[in-house]
Structure 1
């Protein structure tokens, strides 16, 4: 066993605590394909799902069965039939669908029932609920092809699922639906997951995909997308593999119909759910209707986050200490970068009536986010606000970052060049450099 670094563990555990609190009581729909169920690591994935349940998260697990159906068809000497990417489910295929769905569901129930002392689920008591929660209708005939027992989701029994979630059950849905006439239909599991997430107004739809995560042309992972940006990516020829495009499509659909966030995750990463849900940046691609990270005017409720951001630099003497009362008084001067509910950057524009000058103050970024030009974004935002206020010059006082400002158009100046009100509170003992930029 590798040596456990206690300091790193404590730091990680403390860092995960805000997410533990924020996720408790929320409803997550998790999708995985039939490939996951056939993988030897499936037990570890279900152990992580059990852990999420123990943390008070309301869980719906939707599983696919495509490879299991194909294997049963092959064993019977039958050929899998597809048209326009959709399975044609004849009577033989339907028998394979029922067998595959029942087998995988039972395996899931068995794995979620483990409670051995030497297992990751020692002491757990998890109930699994499954049943006729999905009402389906036939696809019918398309392009002259009769899809027979292939169906579409007509309705999700959201009330029945919520009742099971209220009891603390993990709800398991297969890619099978039932009609009011008693017929059974084979469904696309991604459609079941999306429809369930929308019907439940889920907080998250977590899509565990087989093809890896979304990346940029240079290979860098794409960590977040708005639905508009995601649509643009879908429209780019060759930007996405044929396997990933459908998953991104349902993520967009879910977010545009009331699901707060959808995540595309590489199923093959061990512990991918935990890494995505309990670390600030995650390991997948987050899709949301609104930006995951925003630059906006500060509000009074942001003061604790701003103070936490400033405190390390105040202790080092880089910044002059600011009290909570002063921040609350000056809060209208501040702009913040918020990322997933955490303040990771701030800057302030202080005005001096009767002058054409403003002060750029408190430009600070969290150490983990000093990149991707966030400092430049804050500076540009403050400069824009200064111009809008009719100011012609912007000045900054700094003890350690003069070169950063020089590289962005600020010129060295003297204390005598500052507005009188600012000169009056200048501290000679700090010997801060004065830099001024003409707007």
Structure 2
């Protein structure tokens, strides 16, 4: 049983493995992960991603390490607007702390003992002056001194290292063209790197499980347009809010997806990336699942979707050959490479009508509004083609259509070509509605 489960899960992960190969992921984890040792588990997952052909840019924080260094030197720092004011003395202690944190991460990423999960990983970790900084300057009368912001990212140099299969490790510091070091928030470094590189994903390890709604429930998926609805939740984690602001910036800059995953869950990165529903929260630039015209390569997915409904007598049986001939009539809903719903639209322009047929939704995704989305898409397509009415033939879903403004009709109300194809043995009921009804 355990073996069967392993095989099933491994097969389900294969589409993700193929898709991620050659993509750039920027991954940010804080100094807490270094301090409590959880970075060791993260490193194992990173080594696996690297072995699968994913290009990795890692950005580490060093908050606890900086605080500890300041305490050792008897220094106190002030924060304004979430930014640490970095004096010359604080900058000296910060360099010590960040350097130590970076070396610790490099050591963990370089581990390769035969009894280690990273055996033979062979990660080649590279660093350098990839982040060009500028001083944050004086804002609202506050001089931030050696606190800086990202001025530029050395994209071409970074791409050469990534093409050589090297893992880039970035620290929360940057150097100006004058050779001055500046303290930069690790999150800002990650955002700048992901945006400049056009990364496929920006991933944040967080202390929270992800983004929660007003009721305290984890939200698995958010689109760019939905972010604002989560920013005013009173009990929201400040760090998560910061990640949401960052997600808006990078998604607007072209990064497809941002993930927030819990750092305390072992294997969180793998579970988020290689399972269909993930673990934390994903923020996407485009809808997670989308509608599009079907292609010939979608036929196996469509067949897998409709065959059980054909066997139950809900749909008319369609051969592969017929699907190939009519594939341009089909619309599919895709979720992470899997066809989870489909519908076909057959226009009869001379009668100002269109038939909606072969409406099917995967069992795991029913009662979640996907059928309605396909219906609305068909109505929109019919409207754009100047058609006035939409009809369906159904044997077992009459109430679903009646609840959505369809009216019972007769065979004689169908276009003449469709009347000639009517199957008297199935005795399907006819339903018609105006495409302009709401």
Q: Residue 409 of structure 1: CA displacement? A: 4.6
| Counterpart residue number, 2:284 | 288
Q: Distance in 1 between matches of 2:288 and 2:269?
A: 18
After TM superposition, list the pairs within 5 Å mapping 1:20-419 onto structure 2: 20-231=17-228, 233-234=230-231, 236=232, 238=234, 240-300=236-296, 302-315=298-311, 317-352=313-348, 355=351, 358-386=354-382, 389-392=386-389, 394-398=391-395, 400-410=396-406, 419=415
Structure 1 residues 358, 256: CA separation in 2 closer, same or farther (over 3 Å shift)? closer
CA contact (8 A) 1:386 1:394 kept: no
Q: Distance in 2 between matches of 1:390 and 1:320?
A: 25
Number of aligned pairs? Answer: 433
Q: Distance in 2 between matches of 1:55 and 1:401?
A: 45
Q: Distance in 1 between matches of 2:349 and 2:88?
A: 81
CA contact (8 A) 2:392 2:430 kept: yes
Q: Residue 262 of structure 1: CA displacement? A: 1.9
Residues 26-35 or 294-303, more deviating: 294-303
Q: Residue 355 of structure 1: CA displacement? A: 4.4
Give the 3-state SS of the residue equivalent to 1:330 in structure 2. Answer: helix
Q: Residue 315 of structure 1: CA displacement? A: 5.0
Q: Distance in 2 between matches of 1:208 and 1:269?
A: 10
Q: Distance in 2 between matches of 1:353 and 1:149?
A: 69
Query: CA deviation digits over 1:105-128, x for unaligned, max 9?
Result: 122122122222332112221111
Give the 3-state SS of the residue equivalent to 2:214 in structure 1. Answer: coil
CA contact (8 A) 2:256 2:286 kept: no
Residues 19-28 or 327-336, more deviating: 327-336
Q: Distance in 1 between matches of 2:381 and 2:155?
A: 47
Give the 3-state SS of the residue equivalent to 2:243 in structure 1. Answer: helix
Q: Distance in 2 between matches of 1:392 and 1:410?
A: 10
Give the root-mean-square deviation of aligned CA atoms.
2.6
Q: Residue 150 of structure 1: CA displacement? A: 1.3
Q: Distance in 1 between matches of 2:350 and 2:184?
A: 70
Q: Distance in 2 between matches of 1:8 and 1:424?
A: 49
Q: Distance in 1 between matches of 2:398 and 2:127?
A: 63
Q: Residue 417 of structure 1: CA displacement? A: 6.1
CA contact (8 A) 1:296 1:337 kept: yes
| Counterpart residue number, 1:436 | 431
CA contact (8 A) 1:295 1:336 kept: yes
CA contact (8 A) 1:82 1:88 kept: yes
Q: Residue 174 of structure 1: CA displacement? A: 0.6
Q: Which runs of 5+ in 2 are unaligned?
A: none
Q: Residue 177 of structure 1: CA displacement? A: 1.2
Q: Distance in 2 between matches of 1:129 and 1:397?
A: 62
Structure 1 residues 354, 67: CA separation in 2 closer, same or farther (over 3 Å shift)? same
Q: Distance in 2 between matches of 1:167 and 1:393?
A: 56
TM-score for both structures, normalised by structure 1: 0.89
Q: Residue 187 of structure 1: CA displacement? A: 0.9
Residues 186-195 or 101-110, more deviating: 101-110
Q: Residue 277 of structure 1: CA displacement? A: 1.3
CA contact (8 A) 1:349 1:358 kept: yes
CA contact (8 A) 1:294 1:337 kept: yes
Q: Distance in 2 between matches of 1:392 and 1:157?
A: 57
Structure 1 residues 193, 392: CA separation in 2 closer, same or farther (over 3 Å shift)? closer
CA contact (8 A) 1:178 1:185 kept: yes
Residues 366-375 or 49-58, more deviating: 366-375
Q: Distance in 2 between matches of 1:249 and 1:223?
A: 17
TM-score for both structures, normalised by structure 2: 0.89
Query: CA deviation digits over 1:6-42, x for unaligned, max 9?
Result: 2222221111101100101111110111122222322
Q: Distance in 1 between matches of 2:154 and 2:350?
A: 65
Q: Residue 85 of structure 1: CA displacement? A: 1.3
CA contact (8 A) 1:357 1:395 kept: no
